[in-house]
Structure 1
């Protein structure tokens, strides 16, 4: 497996109208963030994943996942308190008919 900061992501990351195509693009994006945001734990983990993939080799998907988690860190999915409801409804027993 090849190494280096020039390795492209399998799917580019779109952020604010720009595309992060390679590991170096993502690293430049992270380092250009304001210090308060750059020092957030999610961004630190994303940067660590970028460094590991660029210098140690490995799948670029790991670095992409780290960057996507950092970008979407404020998103919380809506949770259904009832859980998943079955599509068939309640079963009718012979005694209830």
Structure 2
């Protein structure tokens, strides 16, 4: 997909979604990359953030338990 294709895709969005701040930031990043020849990864990050704006990662406070204690030996079982 080219930068032009990405811009046309964003421009074709419904008005309500097009006016979302995430999509506005993605458009700004696309314009900056296209005009100034900057790194394309910035435009990609902007578009990916806009696409995934409703995703909320689940937080597991317990996480992985640390294994700081000594392992049990077979003879101790």
The answer to whether TM tops 0.5 is yes
Aligned-pair Cα RMSD in Å = 1.5
Name the structure 2 match of 1:65: 45
Name the count of aligned residue pairs: 71
Superposed CA offset, 1:20-68 (max 9, x none): x100010000000000000000000000000000001111110000000
Taking the aligned partners of 1:45 and 1:84, their CA distance within structure 2 comes to 35
Name the structure 2 match of 1:5: none
Larger Rg: 2
Report the structure, 1 or 2, having the larger helix content: 2
* Relative contact order, higher structure (CA 8 A, sep 6+): 1
Name the structure 2 match of 1:34: 14
Structure 2: state its 5+ residue gaps: 71-77
Could you state the TM-score of these two structures normalised by the residue count of structure 1?
0.67
